[in-house]
Amino acid sequence: MPFCVKITFEIDKNDDWLDGLDTVNEFFKDKDIYPTGPIIFQKKSIGIGEYEYTAFISLNTELHDIPELNIEYIDMLEVGPTLSEKCFEESEFEQVYSQIELAAKENEVKILDQPYYHVMVDYFGGSVFEIYAQLELSDGDNSE
């Protein structure tokens, strides 16, 4: 994704993580900046009932870092190689993680020790999630 911003915030498990993006979206609207792709996010447990979300959003233009909103500009977000699986509900994430881990084991590939990337795409009637686990390449592997 080109012209990407990285936004990190912490929330309680009972809060809707998308609410954390409202302030950022309002800031963008006032500056004629808008998203050009899906929201990509990582979710990491940081305590009992607390999560850290890192969202990546592709924009229509470059942007400088905005520390007061925890926004960091990234020229290009590239993730790969990966294993991925789709689902329609956040409640299915744990099951999908298990499916990805089983596929990695069966194919003798190792998943990097980092949160999975979740791509959220809206469609008529809801959202679909594609979950990506980034793979570790050994010295003999070639990503091309």
Give the separation between CA 96 and CA 101, rounded to whole angstroms.
Answer: 9
Give the separation between CA 108 and CA 111, rounded to whole angstroms.
Answer: 10
Q: Which residue has the tokens 């899906």?
A: 38
Average pLDDT over residues 119-133: 88
Give the separation between CA 117 and CA 49, rounded to whole angstroms.
Answer: 20
Q: What is the pLDDT of residues 32-87, one digit of tens each?
A: 888 888 889 998 888 888 888 898 988 888 888 888 878 899 888 888 899 999 99
| Residue type at 30 in one-letter notation | D
Instruction: Report CA Rg, the chain.
Output: 16
